[in-house]
Structure 1
Amino acid sequence: TVNGEEIKAAEYYKRMEWFRPEPQSALINMPVGFQVLRQMISERMIVQLAKSKGVAPTAPQIEARLAALYQENPNLKAQLAQAGRSEDDIRADLRNQEAQFNLLTAGITITDLEVEKHYKENPSEFKEPAKYKLRVVAVGDDAGEKSVDAALKAGKSFADVARQYSLDVTTKARGGEYGVVPETALSDESRKAVAITPVGSTTAWVRGPKNPVGEQSNARIKFLVEVITPAKNIALDAPMKSRLRRRLMLDKGTIRNKTSVGKDLEAATQAAKVTIAEPQFQQLYSQLLDRVRKAQG
């Protein structure tokens, strides 16, 4: 329990099913069950703090956010079902998110004029990138390039060439089918090559992307451009205006309120009465609070 508010076993075990530890978390070496419980305790603390400050999320606020999520992603319900999650699970997530939002944006107002001004002054933020439907063939050396070019010149389809010569195991069996990708998902060299290639044509050979440590891949890649969807401006309609207003509120609220909210939450955490049925977890939680107290001097 957290200040008398119970975390039920069913809720805990359901969270365990989809919980993914954060690699950079300070708790990463602790039992996963404790990491889950610590997260749930923190969420309870945030909602309780919002309630104590008079900014607890309301049911209409949560339903409005849920409706906005459905509008942004019409496939959300199917995705939830596939993941074994329900609308009530999402409402619980939104309750925690909106409590944080309300705490950070307390006293913050963003007018329609401020929203419209930001939209007009930052056009690059509101542009949907060009998208390309591509096929790809990847080889490892000059001989591979020559074999692919010769086969294409002889009239062989790009799909058959990819099946025969490509070293990309992900796309090879599908005839090099790469799918529809935004230009922002391509490497600089690939993006430049695709951008100057007409529909139905193949790009020049480009080098594969660099790995995380900056080493250049030895792969040589050629794309077939099947469909181009041009970049377009995103209109400032009602949903976009709502999303932009929230973002601007958070930007301003983070500057003004983040430090004070953090202090209030830490004080509430230290003062809270938390009872955990599992003795090992109770001990770990107490030790965690002690470390925080010592760190704060």
Structure 2
Amino acid sequence: MLALTLGSCGEKPAGPAQALAIINGKPLTVSEFDLRWSQLPEYARKKYPGVEGRKKFLDELIDREVLLQEAKKRGIDRDRALLERLERFKERSLLDVLMREEVDSRVTVSPQEMKAYHEANPGSFIAPDEFRASHILVKTEAEAIDLKKRLAGGEDFASLARKASVDATTKSKGGDLGIVKKGQTVPEFEKALLTLKPGEVSEPVATQFGYHLIKLVERTTGPVLSYEDAKEQIKEQVLIEKKQKRFKELIAALRANAKLRVLDTPIPDSNPRAASPAADAR
């Protein structure tokens, strides 16, 4: 066990129940150290190389125990709101394990199912639209507004980009961004781009880089994907649908076997008013 190496080479190996530290009378044992160590992801263990690293990890466990004891001393572990949150977390964890055991682990997708799904839904898998766009990037909104007015007055977009844009990558190309796909630009830029028709120029768009005037040159609708190109999407979609079906079957079976009665008690208002003497009086 890793914790056994904490001592010097000449010392007798420690047993699992032997304490590495005692904090206010509570022992921190070798077995607890080993358990905490085993729960670390591989990348996290790299932070604690060699004997010195394990001593550092022990120090952190001691710090954690000191803090926990202080929290309990203050009665935080008996706080009703905290206990309710812990109970909800426990319930979610139990449901997650049940779903993994009864749904996720029981659902697979075969190549035959994937091909059949693609044949039944031939137009459902389409490549994203592509956009040919240009932009002018400036530092201030006032500059962008001025350039927008000049464009409205008939000046050429590419010429203004060469003169005024601060984007060194596209400036010499008249602002040409080439082909742009969804997800390749910051959200503010993409949102504005999607509203444009070919030939239109946006109002000034603020992003982390400055202010943009965006021109949509051309929009190409994405082609329908072949089976080979859409395989991963198909697999994911079939998996989702099969899991949903399995989940419904599980619920139906559990309800059928449950001793269940739905009573006539009125369902509470979704936005109940706080009880008050005045409300009770009415």
TM (normalized to structure 1)?
A: 0.38
Structure with more relative contact order (C-alpha pairs < 8 Å, separation 6 or more): 1
> Based on CA coordinates, which of the two structures has the bigger radius of gyration?
2
TM (normalized to structure 2)?
A: 0.40
